[in-house]
Amino acid sequence: GNNLILIIGMIKKNIPNFFTSLNFICGCLASYFAFKSLFEAAFFLVLIGVFFDLFDGFFARLFKVESNFGLQFDSMADLITSGLVPGIVMYKLFLQVGLKEIDFIFNVFNVDFIFSFSPLALIGFIIPLSSAIRLTRFNLDVSQKDEFNGLPAPANALFIVSLPILYDDPVFNSIRPFIFSFSSLLVITFLSSIMMNLRFRLFSFKLNSFKLHENFYQLIFVLVGIVLFYFFNWISIPILIIVYIIINILRNYLN
């Protein structure tokens, strides 16, 4: 009997870590596909990884097995899925708008080491750096249990990795030249990095009660999301992230 209780306890304790592991693996696979410019695959793997990220926290709270290890492990997985992957995607987008990779040759002890990359496109990796800072701050800031302080890294990642899908969609033909230029991608890179680390309160989707007035803004966001998804399908995701920010600006102003 005692052994069975111990086994059940161990299983409950590690269910959140199992979902975190799936998030981590999704991030690794998405990184590979992003490097291969298979953006649709990278997008869906990040999306699935973000869902796993929601589940690990949900089950940790449900089973009352939240731990410091789980918190750190969750951030390690997020750093791959929601940090590294959007950085790779942004690097590739810079190449798509015209930046060229250059061969760099270094001779060390009569051995040639050849590296091919675009120095300017490396700006895209400011996103993983900013995500790492954001995730570290989240781990140290106890006030972010029910609200976020700055745009969450997963939300930012979904916005960035959905941009190539938006690029290929005919609905956005007219605005494609404005979004997909070096200057626009530069602005998106720096703005998204700033938004993640800005002292700006945003609601989370952790429901502490089922009272309508306490979850009013979350409900508005979900309803808008359903409408947008009905009309625009997967390309509604970057629009939804912008809607999420706008709703929170209004919420903070009204409060």
Q: What is the 3-state secondary structure (H, E, C) of the chain?
A: CHHHHHHHHHHHHHHHHHHHHHHHHHHHHHHHHHHCCCHHHHHHHHHHHHHHHHHHHHHHHHCCCCCHHHHHHHHHHHHHHHHHHHHHHHHHHHHHCCCCCEEEEEEECCEEEEEEECCHHHHHHHHHHHHHHHHHHHHHCHHHCCEEECCCHHHHHHHHHHHHHHHHCHHHCCCHHHHCCHHHHHHHHHHHHHHHHCCCEEECCCCCCCCHHHCHHHHHHHHHHHHHHHHHHHHHHHHHHHHHHHHHHHHHHHC
Quick check: 100 pLDDT over 90? yes
Quick check: 166 pLDDT over 90? no
Of 183 and 233, the structure prediction assigns the larger pLDDT to 183
pLDDT, mean of residues 16-27: 94
Quick check: 124 pLDDT over 60? yes
The rounded distance, in Å, linking the Cα atoms of 62 and 251 is: 28
Position 206 confidence tier, pLDDT thresholds 50, 70, 90: low
Whole-angstrom Cα Rg for the chain = 20
Beta bridge partners of 114: 105
What separation in angstroms does the CA of 77 have from each of 125, 130, 135? 17, 15, 10
pLDDT, mean of residues 243-248: 94
pLDDT, mean of residues 107-114: 86
Residue 213 has what pLDDT? 64
pTM for this one? 0.90
Q: What is the pLDDT of residues 27-65, one digit of tens each?
A: 999 999 999 999 999 999 999 999 999 888 888 877 787
Q: Is 235 within 8 Å of 208 (Cβ atoms)?
A: no
Position 235 confidence tier, pLDDT thresholds 50, 70, 90: confident
